[in-house]
Amino acid sequence: MPSGTAPNSRNSTLAIGLAVFLCLVGSAFIAARAVENRPQLSAEYADADLEFQGKKLRGWSLGSEGLLADWYWMRSLQYIGDKVVNSKEEFINVEDLRPLNPRLLYPLLDNATDLDPRFMAAFSYGSIVLPAIDPEHAIALTKKGIAANPESWRLYQYLGYIYWRQKRFEEAAETYDRGSRIAGAPPFMRQMVAAMKTQGGSRETAREIYLQMRDQAEDQQSRENAELRLLELDALEELDAINAELKAAVERTGKCPASLRQIIPLLREVKLPGGRAFRVDSNGDPADPLGFPYRLTPEDCRATLNETTKIPKQLD
């Protein structure tokens, strides 16, 4: 190598290094300025539905539609879970999840069931959760399932349940009737036809529906939701009995008892459906099925659910 080339080479290396250093400093400065001047994005930005076109891959995903469907299904469970965990609402009403703005649940389940039209767990979850967000989407999803799986009586059960929740008892009866004619359908479906026509809104009907949903649930969340609804019915029956005793106490004495524990001896004489007995917490107060004490409101001398219980508070 000629003796004059080495200094030139070193100078070139130094120049390149300096240029790289200046570029890094400039990039850091630009990044800092970008962070400082970043526009505030709405909370809905997290719900940007850029990923919800997976169903277009059906037939083009080299046989991996099932895996894609599973991804959308798992994403739907995580999506609602995140909404609940990050919610700023003091009380989440399971009868109405619209304040959580879970607008992407239907697209997620729609994609999952387009990729796998026999994905019963997705249809089951949609029938349980979607009615509290958008009943018409819940109906549309379940009807899509019936069209793809006409031999499944269970999908008719889901659709009948959705109509029942909307107090559309005639449509519910017709749906249960259609499902009861499918081979393998349990007697429960035929019983629901009569129940919808005669006592559609009764607690007895509700209990039968949730018992069946609990015992035949396709996924854990649907099962837990049905169990919670059954506890809600238990609480309704207990509150009826407590409030009846409170009313009787007012009629006898002209005043409301100072606490619910004062009527415990009377409640022990009450026969609850199914032979249940009243629960009493460590303080001696009557408690709901989850162990939270009922609350007495002296203004109207009525018992209600405790604010901290997990039992739904939108009762009857």
How far are the Cα atoms of 119, 228, 289 from residue 94, in angstroms, in the given order?
24, 10, 17
Show contacts of 260-267: CB within 8 Å, 24+ apart: 260/285, 260/286, 260/293, 260/294, 260/296, 260/303, 261/285, 261/286, 267/241, 267/242
Cα–Cα distance, 234 to 228 (Å, whole number): 10
CATH class (in words) of the domain with range 62-204: mainly alpha
The letter for the amino acid at 215 is D
pTM value is 0.67
Tell me, letter by letter, the H, E, C secondary structure of 165-226.
Answer: HCCCHHHHHHHHHHHHCCCCCCHHHHHHHHHHHHHCCCHHHHHHHHHHHHHCCCCHHHHHHH
What pLDDT score was predicted for residue 57? 66
Per-residue pLDDT tens digits of the chain, which is 316 residues long:
454 555 555 556 656 656 555 655 555 556 555 556 555 545 554 565 545 566 666 665 556 788 889 998 999 999 988 888 888 876 677 778 888 889 899 999 999 999 999 999 999 999 989 999 999 999 999 999 999 999 999 999 999 999 999 999 999 999 999 999 999 999 889 989 988 988 888 888 888 898 988 888 777 877 888 898 899 999 999 999 999 999 999 999 999 999 999 999 999 889 888 888 999 999 999 999 999 999 999 999 999 999 888 887 654 4
The tokens describing 200, both together, are 């559609």
